[in-house]
Amino acid sequence: MENLNSLSPIQNKRMTCYGGVAAAAALPSPPPTTLTTLPSSPCNTFVRVREVGSGGAEDPNTVVKQSVDGFKWRLLVSYDGTRYKGWQFQQTPPTIQCILEKALTQATKLERKDLHLVGASRTDGGVHAWGQVAHFITPFNYDSLDSIHAALNGLLPPDIRVREISAAVPEFHARFSAKGKIYHYKIYNDAIMDPFQRLYAYHVTHKLNAAVMREAANHFIGTHDFSAFVNSSRNDGMPNPVKTIFRFDIVNMVIKSHNNLAPKDGLLSLICPFHCH
């Protein structure tokens, strides 16, 4: 999955999707990490806060708005999601949000409830990300982001990394400022699965016809109403179930064998970008 602000590989229960969880804001771009030009005064912004039940999992049916004073920071996160139960917060089994919040609480000395960490998208267990966008809030400013950037990566396990951290304008929201997403699925099409690909591709043993798949993929292109895929029991504020899929590519990829002999044809890449609004 990929958006203008992030690239993220994603894996669902059946196949690995590489995609950047889109969070390209229709807002001024925040300054790069290397700059120290940060907001000079606190801003008042509304954030969405979900109630947390006794088990530690967020109640998906409860959404309230809360006014928060502070400074907003944008993260670009990369992770191998093999051992995590997706993004959304829960302590057991661990999730990306849970691990990232633990690192943030140590680095900032703030409580979880004060950080208001929000990701651009929820993901399923085993999802991988090259650049999932998230944001959090602090009541204080930073003269430089280098120290907290280094601290976060020092506190995080090696399979999660913060690639970028930058100041964000008050209106920026990792999820609701998204412009689009790209889902990238990989299928390993061979009788025997390559053990080096097993965590990042779905194994199909029968021969696939890429030409026929490309023809079928054309039927997905266009604007469609995805209401049938929405969980109607949740009040998550999603403004519009109508999305536009503007490309659906089926690409044959050549993999070099690990003994440096002849490359073999066996990996199909399905790339599907769409606009959120």
Contact between residue 250 and residue 217 where contact means Cβ atoms under 8 Å apart: yes
Residue in 81, 171, 86 with CA at minimum distance from that of residue 135:
171
Residue type, 1: M
In the residue annotation, 124 being an active-site residue is answered as yes
User: Catalytic pick from 59, 69, 124, 159?
Assistant: 124
Contact between residue 6 and residue 120 where contact means Cβ atoms under 8 Å apart: yes
Helix H, strand E, coil C: the string for the chain is: CEECCEECEEECCCCEEECECCCCCCCCCCCCCCCCCCCCCCEEEEEEECCECCCCCECCCCCEEEEEEEEEEEEEEEECCCCCCCCCCCCCCCCHHHHHHHHHHHHHCCCHHHHCCEECCCCCCCCCEEEEEEEEEECCCCCCCHHHHHHHHHHCCCCEEEEEEEECCCCCCCCCCCCEEEEEEEEEECCCCCCCCCCCCEEECCCCCHHHHHHHHHHHCEEEECHHHCCCCCCCCCCCCEEEECCCEEEEEEECCCCCCCCEEEEEEEEEEEECC
**Catalytic residue positions?**
124
